[in-house]
Amino acid sequence: MVSWQNRAVGYARAAFGSPSLDEQVAALRAAGCLEDNIWVEPDHRRFRYLEMALLDARKGDVFLVTRLGCLSNSFARFTAVLERLQSSNVQLRLLDERLGATLDNCHLIVPAMLDVLKAWRDARSYATRWGLEAARQKGRHGGRPPALSPEAFAYAQDMLADPRLTLSVIADRLGVSRSTLHKAELKRSARKK
């Protein structure tokens, strides 16, 4: 059993490629986590207990996980968790059997990981903006095509002038929903202002 100077808060989650929950809890106990300070996430798709574990961890505490993959299933959430631990002055400790020991220098690795994740996100964002700009120059615009062409909208406005026709009937004739007609009208009126 490892003795931490500060309180140890453990988090275990059923994740692909991770040890079973029982194995994770046993590793957290062996690392010095008390039973009351171990948060177990039984559903790999949810992160309710992660939120509670993060709330439980206070300044100076040690946050223990068996694998980094237990913290998240997305880069955005992973980055948010690391930033939250760093801003709360909570040390992250990784108990990974592949490393053969406890990784005690996570406080040095977390800022580096955050920098790498931010650089990766910036690179993706730049590539996306560059691709959209290249498409615009070719005359293509992203997004879903409008359900109503300007001609169909003009036809709908002409039909609206007839008091015998309801919005539902007009929408049926054009093959769109009533909400599509409302949205098109709002967009057109917003452009006129």
CATH of the domain at 27: 3.40.50.1390
Q: What average pLDDT score do residues 20-37 get?
A: 90
Single out the residue in 95, 118, 141 at which a domain terminates: 118
3-state secondary structure of 62: strand
Query: How many alpha carbons lie under 13 Å from residue 23 in its C-beta half-sphere?
Result: 11
Rounded mean pLDDT of the chain? 80
CA distance 75 to 56: 23
What pLDDT, in 10s, does the model give residues 78-90?
Answer: 888 888 888 888 8
What pLDDT, in 10s, does the model give residues 91-147?
Answer: 888 886 554 444 455 556 667 777 777 777 777 787 888 888 888 888 887 777 878
**Structural domain of residue 95, as residue ranges?**
8-118
3-state secondary structure of 99: coil
pTM of the model: 0.55
Tell me how many domains the chain contains.
2
Q: What is the pLDDT of residue 153?
A: 84
**Smallest Cα–Cα separation from 90: which of 49, 62, 56, 53?**
62
- The reply to whether 66 and 114 lie within a common domain is yes
In a domain, 1, yes or no: no
How far does the chain reach from its first CA to its final CA, in angstroms?
Answer: 70
In a domain, 170, yes or no: yes
Instruction: Answer yes or no: are the C-beta atoms of 68 and 106 closer than 8 Å.
Output: no
Helix (H) or strand (E) holding 117: helix 106-137
3-state secondary structure of 95: strand
